[in-house]
Structure 1
Amino acid sequence: MLIVMSWLREHVPGLPPTRPVADALIRAGFEVEGLRTVGGDVSGVVVGEIVSFEAVETKKKTVRWCQVRVADSPVAEDTAGAAAAAGAGAGVEDDAGAVRGVICGALNFAVGDRVAVALPGAVLPGGFAITARRTYGHLSDGMICSARELGLGEDHDGILILEPSTPLGADVATLLELADEVLDIAITPDRGYGLSVRGIAREAATAFALPFDDPGRPEAAVDGGAGTSGAGTSGAGTSGAGAGYPVVVADTVGCDRYVARVVTGVDPAAVTPMGWARRLTLSGMRSISVPVDVTNAVLLGLGQPLHAFDRAKLTGTIVVRRAAPGETLRTLDDVERVLDPEDLVIADESGPIALAGVMGGASTEISATTTDIVLEAAHFDPISVARTARRHRLSSEASRRFERGVDPALPAVAAAAAVDLLVSLAGATSEPGVTDIDHRLVTPVVPLPLGEAQRLAGRPYPVQTVLHRLADVGCTISGVTEDGSGLAEGAEPTEGSGLAEGSGLAEGSGLPEEAVLAVVPPPWRPDLTRPADLVEEIVRLEGYDTIPVTLPRLPAGRGLTTAQRLRREVGRALAHAGYVEVQTLPFVAEDAADALSLAADDPRRAAVRVANPIAEDAAYLRTTLLSGLIGAAVRNLSHGQQDLALFETGLVFRERPGGPARVSVPPVDRRPSADEIADLDASLPEQPRHLAVLLTGRAEPAGWAGPGRAADWADALDAAHLVAEALGLSLTVTAGDTMPWHPGRCAALSLAGRPVGHAGELHPRVLADVGLPARSVALELDLDALLEVAAVAPPVVAPSISTYPPADRDVALVVPVQVPVARVTAALREGAGALLESLTLFDVFEGAQVGSGQRSLAFGLRLRATDRTLTAAEANEVRDAAVALAADRTGATLRS
């Protein structure tokens, strides 16, 4: 919401400079996103009069050589000699030396028009300096300005024509009040009243303890104080339905207040005064015509959306109803819309003519020939408006306000203000009679214990402070009891604000702290429905910074849990190995499983949909970390980063067998029981913590030390072993075959017979679908499964270091190709016994020499004793025992 400070100061005289106002609003809980100063840099622009002009033909267009009188004034005198100093052709000097020659490309003026003239030395918005310069064969001694060049709007079809009575030589910046300041305030959804000058003015007046004459009070419908400068009194009261234009409200739930006023004799040629046009422009709206500008001015000033119908285009009675199946409406944006039966519409005998609270229809639009207008000021149901706007993807200034809550007491006031402005600015006549259909419900009473603010905020709030702040908000007190009984039944609709007269509550005298106030919130605050809401207002207006900051005392001796410590060990190990940690969002698209080519029966396809997703293309929770890692890699690749080594740890979400359980939501006024918590936990998807790694490009960069090396499946497997070693574990590796890995280059990882993940090269089809380079590799581990074992594993005992030399023996075993290398390795390790220091597979060979269906595995055994040097016979004996056990368990034979 853009708030023009000159407009705000009309409502709250005596406000300090703008920066303290912005700080006060921030302290009151508003998000002031910016402060902009406009027009303050304009100088040297004066009022001139066109004395004469002549056409100057050029190859591209026709311009005018104008003689402009700028009268004797301090500004004119300061710049009068500029043309003479520049040379001949500067214009025709009169007795006062105030006629200047100026080249102008516009054609929308005549002799005698008063215009804005920027003299040499003048400065226009943006620091644009004006000088005398020769152009089109003449010396142009200044510039005649358009509204756009003065920062008054976007109209640049011609120069700015001022009123004939505008004094010559007057300073334009002062005359048009160009200097102003604009606050940019982000209004949260629960503070719809802030989408108006009226709402912000109330907050500013409260912040500085200044008087505030509410322009939205009901009496303003009669006395003219509608919050729009220059509005007089319409003199029209409020009567029942049928007194004015005929209206029928068929859906009183969707529309509980509808006011219609009729004005006739609108002058189609009327022009919005420059002050109002500039005010609208600075507020983010474009000046269009007097009727449209009037409705926008009331909307910005009071926060009440209005709609103007061309009376000549209406057919019979206006009806507020739900749309009928199959009905259509062409809205003002020239889009033909098929209406939903849930849409609330404004209709006449011809059918729908507007989407209630969202946008009007083209069939009854105000045009340049409109003379008679029916003004609509209504209060629509916020939920209905919000759903209609989202259903048609049609957000408007009106729907923004109705969605957040508009004061239901405003329609009559806003309609009266609009009528007054149309009478004043467009020469219109107000027809007698007002249609006011009122079905507002009783305003509920909120019981507020006097001690509630202290209980929730943790600091004392005297009774006088509580009552004072409630009055600042606009609440009334309808009664006081000792226990709050009988206060929640309701109260009559309240039009005023402040404490009940004659109640004796203003001073808070004689009220015990345990007393309960019967508080009636103001109609413009539909968000105040609970005692906690009222407490929030008290605390907010008193200042959040007045609440003492007290840090809780932490019990001594508690540090990281075992799982947290182990997870950090894993992260440090990967980071030290050169991997970069990333954190991706857990939300994925519906086709995420298709991108990974997962099988139809793969449990990773059972993704859980989010009930209220932030985006439809990310509406599901991830079942694997690879989706997010691949997305992060693709973004890096698009920025030229080809060599990647990424890792991530995070939760994945798997739907429980049988689907999610349906449980009732426990109330919020108590702590859920253990059984309720267990039921809620059981309804959630399974959420194991996984770890994933992704490598693309080169694992080792090229340089003086060598040509570099591309990442391959072994790097993903090394990362898995690195994670296991950080946890003091050892993984078993076997051949794997699961998507999205390449079936011939995939390793299945297990721990004590329990599958824990896969590593290897990704499938070429997956790489092509997601946009990764060929031969990219990945790893994914069930980190929770590893931590579960590591948490209960005995501490790792440091090995004893022997000072005796090792004995190295090599063996080459021939085994069937279907025998896993891990089985052979385990048998050799067990057969070698305690003297085995390390076992390394250094060669794998398949060919005719070993026979079809066979392969040769070459291992290096390093043997060492801690108390002696091994003899050759001892070393050979250990080697033979290892080979014998491998032969017994795997059918291996020594290669000859």
Structure 2
Amino acid sequence: MKIVMSWLREVVPALPPAKAVADALIRAGFEVEAVEPVGHDLAGVVVGEVLSIELVQAKKKNVRWVRVRVAETGTREVICGAFNFAVGDRVAVALPGAVLPGGFTITARKTYGHLSEGMICSASELGIGDDHSGILVLPPDTPVGTDVAGLLELADDVLDIAVTPDRGYGLSIRGIAREAATAFGLPFDDPAGAASEQAASEQAGAGQVGAGQGAAGYPVVVEDTAACGRYVARVVTGVRPDAATPLRLARRLALSGMRPISVPVDVTNLIMLGLGQPLHAFDRAKLSGPIVVRRAREGERLVTLDGVKRELDPEDLVIADDSGPVALAGVMGGASTEISTDTTEILIEAAHFDPVAVARTARRHQLGSEASRRFERGVDPALAPAAARAALRLLTELAGATAEAGVTDIDHRPAPRPITFPLGETARLGGRPYPAEVVRRRLVEVGCTVADAGTDAVALPGAAVDLAGADSVGDGALLVVPPSWRPDLTRPADLVEEVMRLEGYDTIPVTLPRLPAGRGLTQGQRIRRAVGTALAHQGYVEVLTIPFVGDDTPDRLGLTSDDARAAVVRIANPIAEDAANLRTTLLPGLFAAAVRNIGRGQVDLALFETGLVFRATATTPVVTPPTPAVDHRPGDAEIAALNAVLPEQPRLVAVVLTGRREPAGWWGPGQPATWQDAVDAAHTVAAATGVDLTVTADALTPWHPGRCARLSADGQVVGYAGELHPRVIAAYGLPARTCAMELDLDTVLEIALARPPVTAPAVSTYPPADRDIALVVEACVPVARVTEGLRRGAGDLLEALTLFDVYEGSQIGEGKRSLAFGLRLRAVDRTLTAQEANAARDAAIAEAARLTGAVLRT
């Protein structure tokens, strides 16, 4: 929002310089991004009267040799290429030595065979607007020789404020003026106050007030009263089509970032910028029948002011007449009722529309506007009559219009509900004491109506409130009714924030928590860091992805409805509709990171991520727990209540591999990443935690059913690894044979931390005894089951067990396979004899045979 300081000073005259105002607004919680001085470098431009004009013909274009009077006795001759002025007109003349915006200095120079002693300026050359098609012609009674910069008030300052979504009132001069007046302790005369009183008197005398529809004002029917809480309509006639917006107001619009168009359009924009109430002007002659505020019907279309024909959605809130929709409510008007150069009768609409309805319509049609920007953030519902009255006054002054006596004001606003506000809440949440009189004064400065607890509605001046909505009150509490322009004030914490920001966040003492000495990382933190380090040492690169996924993620992963990973948690206020859910697995984020890197030419990838996922729990009624205090640690019951409304959030670790794990070179073509590498990554994680993994074949999406490994530890399934399913690869645009692994790191840590401390193994100085065996088993028997039997049978003498060959063929029979293992046996206190080594080998074979039916291959 661009705030013009001269406009702001019309509301609060005694304001200090712009830089001081910007600093005060920053302290009050506003983001002032810049203070832009404009027109301060303009000098030497005066008002001149055209005395004579002589045409000068040239090869490229014709120009005019103009003699102008710039003082009572002084004249100048100037070459000018514009033709939109005549003898007797008053124009802006930049004399030699004058400086125009941008530091452009004017000098006398010879051109077209004449000495040009200056320049006759257009509006764009003076920095007033964008029009450079012709010369700026001033009113005929403008005094000759007057300084143009002072005459048109061209020197000004503009504050560029980034207004946050919860402070919609800041998108107006009215809202910022209130904040600036409060910051400097200056009186604030609400610019909407006088217009509100005048509008109220007119409504009482001749208007249509209430939910009905009568003959006094233009007929209006509001069908959707929830989406349109108030609708005010006023009519003016006799609008002069040739009326022009005064330069001062046109420059005010330009400095605010809006292009002057015509008097009716400029008036609606000036009211919106000044008061914060968006208005819309209909050409009344183009309307047929009463105005109806309703939802769009199936198949309806509307050509908006930007010339685009739009298919309307049944959720769109529209303004319609007998011909159908004529505007998207709160977003943009329709071309069929647009104000034109022939318009003489205008219907002014000043309404209050539901922020959610307007926001959804604007996003649905990708049609943001200055009006929708304000309605989305909350417009003062009490402002509509005053804004309409102000528009009528300006149209009367600037375009010679006449306001019809009838007033339409359909009001369905609910009565405001007071907030029960304990006075001690500011100290509890703010971290420092605030006297009761300070709390009261600050709330009144915000615009709240404040009364002691226990009073009735009569004791709340100016507020017809619904006391049934107030909580039970006790000693030291206030009943606070927020002002109509602050829809963001809904609970005591919001009022505390207002007191804190007006008193100054810099007045809150800074205290550091006192940490007990001798504490460092926990064992779990050390293990998690060891996991990341181990994967990085294996060549994996860590990435951090956003935890948001779209509605189509379960389908893209091939998850069934009964899969726990398909039960997503939806975000109440997503940053994008295509990422409105919290992730239940790390894999989608890793897939997106892989695709992004592949698109930039990096095809050999080994990525990993450690992070939380969010699993929906059983649906139970959710009760929002009370906000804990900030001056002490919440108790166990408070923490439990907060945690009870949260989804389960296990910490996982996942990897994704594409391309080659070993690059090509003089040594060979390189090796592609396979499902074995994904399983090896799981073993790397397990080794870093001190946990042994058991690997067995399984089938679980999104992995390939024939290349999926189930990972278990101490009998618990902790993850899966393998090659991804081709359908998943196609859904995400990944390379063929992409592999992935995902492990429940929290469960692995629980297993690791439950084990006794690891002791350093004894290193034997005696030689090992190596034995090789080949066992024939059924092809369906997992290798892990065989190795379990061998380890159990060999006992403490087994130092290492390695599978070095797998064979399937006719020599061992149909449906069988041969597994060749190498056993390394060693004792810590002696050299094993051949009989001891053979006995351990035979015991290992016997136990494997008992568990799996293995037969020694001879």
Same structural fold, with TM-score higher than 0.5 when normalized by the shorter chain:
yes
Letter in 1 for 2:171: L
Structure 2 CA distance for aligned equivalents of residues 602 and 237 of structure 1:
62
Structure 2 CA distance for aligned equivalents of residues 271 and 644 of structure 1:
65
Q: Is the 8 A contact 2:294 2:320 kept in 1?
A: no
| Residue of structure 1 aligned with 2:159, choices 166, 175, 183 | 183
| Residue of structure 1 aligned with 2:724, choices 762, 770, 777 | 762
Q: How does 1:419-458 map to 2 (within 5 A)?
A: 419-431=392-404, 444-446=417-419, 448=421, 450-458=423-431
2:468 corresponding residue in structure 1:
none
Q: Is the 8 A contact 1:724 1:730 kept in 2?
A: yes
Q: How does 1:89-100 map to 2 (within 5 A)?
A: 98-100=76-78
Structure 1 CA distance for aligned equivalents of residues 579 and 226 of structure 2:
35
Q: Is the 8 A contact 2:331 2:371 kept in 1?
A: yes
| Residue of structure 1 aligned with 2:79, choices 101, 110, 120 | 101
1:280 corresponding residue in structure 2:
253
Structure 1 CA distance for aligned equivalents of residues 94 and 148 of structure 2:
9
Structure 2 CA distance for aligned equivalents of residues 706 and 141 of structure 1:
82
Classify 1:340/1:746 alpha carbon distance in 2 versus 1 (closer, same or farther; 3 Å). Answer: closer
Q: Deviations over 1:414-456 (max 9, x none)?
A: 3332233223222334455655666766555555555553444
Q: Is the 8 A contact 1:445 1:488 kept in 2?
A: no
Classify 1:248/1:777 alpha carbon distance in 2 versus 1 (closer, same or farther; 3 Å). Answer: closer
1:239 corresponding residue in structure 2:
205
Q: Report which stretch shifted further, 615-624 or 340-349.
A: 340-349
2:764 corresponding residue in structure 1:
802
Give the C-alpha shift of residue 269 in structure 1.
1.0
Structure 2 CA distance for aligned equivalents of residues 714 and 570 of structure 1:
19
| Residue of structure 1 aligned with 2:694, choices 732, 736, 741 | 732
Structure 2 CA distance for aligned equivalents of residues 3 and 601 of structure 1:
56
Structure 1 CA distance for aligned equivalents of residues 64 and 317 of structure 2:
57
Structure 2 CA distance for aligned equivalents of residues 773 and 783 of structure 1:
27
| Residue of structure 2 aligned with 1:663, choices 596, 602, 621 | 621
2:9 corresponding residue in structure 1:
9
| Residue of structure 1 aligned with 2:508, choices 547, 570, 577 | 547
Q: Unmatched 5+ residue regions in structure 1?
A: 74-94, 227-233, 496-512
1:54 corresponding residue in structure 2:
55
Structure 1 CA distance for aligned equivalents of residues 839 and 376 of structure 2:
86
Structure 1 CA distance for aligned equivalents of residues 814 and 418 of structure 2:
90
Classify 1:446/1:861 alpha carbon distance in 2 versus 1 (closer, same or farther; 3 Å). Answer: closer
Structure 2 CA distance for aligned equivalents of residues 161 and 643 of structure 1:
68
Q: Secondary structure at the match of 2:374?
A: helix
Letter in 2 for 1:545: D
Q: Is the 8 A contact 1:760 1:779 kept in 2?
A: yes
User: Are residue 823 (structure 1) and residue 781 (structure 2) matched?
Assistant: no
Q: Is the 8 A contact 1:443 1:493 kept in 2?
A: no
Q: Report which stretch shifted further, 674-683 or 689-698.
A: 674-683
User: Are residue 537 (structure 1) and residue 515 (structure 2) matched?
Assistant: no
1:374 corresponding residue in structure 2:
347
Q: Deviations over 1:671-699 (max 9, x none)?
A: 99999999997887655433211122333
Classify 1:747/1:593 alpha carbon distance in 2 versus 1 (closer, same or farther; 3 Å). Answer: same
Structure 1 CA distance for aligned equivalents of residues 781 and 476 of structure 2:
83
Structure 1 CA distance for aligned equivalents of residues 316 and 554 of structure 2:
37
Q: Report which stretch shifted further, 18-27 or 163-172.
A: 163-172
Q: Deviations over 1:611-666 (max 9, x none)?
A: 6544332344434322221111111222222332211223444566xxx4242536
2:130 corresponding residue in structure 1:
154
Q: Is the 8 A contact 2:195 2:389 kept in 1?
A: no
| Residue of structure 2 aligned with 1:215, choices 191, 204, 207 | 191
User: Are residue 265 (structure 1) and residue 238 (structure 2) matched?
Assistant: yes
1:637 corresponding residue in structure 2:
598
1:65 corresponding residue in structure 2:
63
Q: How does 1:164-563 map to 2 (within 5 A)?
A: 164-166=140-142, 172-218=148-194, 222=198, 239-241=205-207, 245-247=217-219, 259-315=232-288, 318-319=290-291, 321-322=293-294, 331-334=304-307, 353-354=326-327, 356-380=329-353, 395-431=368-404, 444-446=417-419, 448=421, 450-477=423-450, 480=452, 484-487=453-456, 491=460, 493=462, 517=478, 519-554=480-515, 562-563=523-524
Normalised to the residue count of structure 1, the TM-score between the two structures is 0.80
Q: Is the 8 A contact 1:812 1:859 kept in 2?
A: yes
Q: Secondary structure at the match of 1:218?
A: helix
Q: Secondary structure at the match of 2:767?
A: coil
Classify 1:366/1:697 alpha carbon distance in 2 versus 1 (closer, same or farther; 3 Å). Answer: same
Letter in 2 for 1:98: R
2:823 corresponding residue in structure 1:
861
Normalised to the residue count of structure 2, the TM-score between the two structures is 0.84
Q: Deviations over 1:120-141 (max 9, x none)?
A: 7766555567778899899988
Classify 1:258/1:758 alpha carbon distance in 2 versus 1 (closer, same or farther; 3 Å). Answer: closer
Q: Is the 8 A contact 1:653 1:686 kept in 2?
A: yes
Q: Is the 8 A contact 2:449 2:461 kept in 1?
A: no
User: Are residue 716 (structure 1) and residue 714 (structure 2) matched?
Assistant: no
Give the C-alpha shift of residue 325 in structure 1.
5.5
Classify 1:132/1:570 alpha carbon distance in 2 versus 1 (closer, same or farther; 3 Å). Answer: farther
Q: Deviations over 1:818-852 (max 9, x none)?
A: 44333333333334332332222334445566666
Q: Deviations over 1:71-124 (max 9, x none)?
A: 668xxxxxxxxxxxxxxxxxxxxx97832335x3x5544455555566777665
Structure 2 CA distance for aligned equivalents of residues 475 and 562 of structure 1:
52
Give the C-alpha shift of residue 197 in structure 1.
0.2
Q: Secondary structure at the match of 2:529?
A: helix
Letter in 1 for 2:79: G
Structure 2 CA distance for aligned equivalents of residues 392 and 125 of structure 1:
39
Q: Secondary structure at the match of 2:350?
A: strand
Classify 1:742/1:470 alpha carbon distance in 2 versus 1 (closer, same or farther; 3 Å). Answer: closer
1:26 corresponding residue in structure 2:
26
Classify 1:440/1:821 alpha carbon distance in 2 versus 1 (closer, same or farther; 3 Å). Answer: closer
Classify 1:55/1:735 alpha carbon distance in 2 versus 1 (closer, same or farther; 3 Å). Answer: farther
Structure 2 CA distance for aligned equivalents of residues 722 and 590 of structure 1:
33
User: Are residue 579 (structure 1) and residue 540 (structure 2) matched?
Assistant: yes
Structure 2 CA distance for aligned equivalents of residues 136 and 754 of structure 1:
94
Q: Is the 8 A contact 2:650 2:744 kept in 1?
A: yes
Aligned residues: 835
Structure 1 CA distance for aligned equivalents of residues 763 and 154 of structure 2:
86
Q: Is the 8 A contact 1:652 1:687 kept in 2?
A: yes
Classify 1:831/1:383 alpha carbon distance in 2 versus 1 (closer, same or farther; 3 Å). Answer: closer
Q: Is the 8 A contact 1:221 1:414 kept in 2?
A: no
Q: Report which stretch shifted further, 548-557 or 284-293.
A: 548-557
Letter in 2 for 1:13: P
2:742 corresponding residue in structure 1:
780
Give the C-alpha shift of residue 368 in structure 1.
0.6
Q: Report which stretch shifted further, 239-248 or 569-578.
A: 239-248
Classify 1:235/1:45 alpha carbon distance in 2 versus 1 (closer, same or farther; 3 Å). Answer: farther
Structure 2 CA distance for aligned equivalents of residues 582 and 739 of structure 1:
23
Structure 1 CA distance for aligned equivalents of residues 608 and 504 of structure 2:
45
Q: Secondary structure at the match of 2:191?
A: coil
Q: Report which stretch shifted further, 34-43 or 752-761.
A: 34-43
Structure 2 CA distance for aligned equivalents of residues 610 and 341 of structure 1:
24
2:712 corresponding residue in structure 1:
750
1:842 corresponding residue in structure 2:
804
Q: Deviations over 1:233-253 (max 9, x none)?
A: x99796242696444566676
Q: Is the 8 A contact 2:181 2:188 kept in 1?
A: yes
Q: Secondary structure at the match of 1:549?
A: coil
Classify 1:260/1:830 alpha carbon distance in 2 versus 1 (closer, same or farther; 3 Å). Answer: closer
Q: How does 1:588-603 map to 2 (within 5 A)?
A: 588-598=549-559
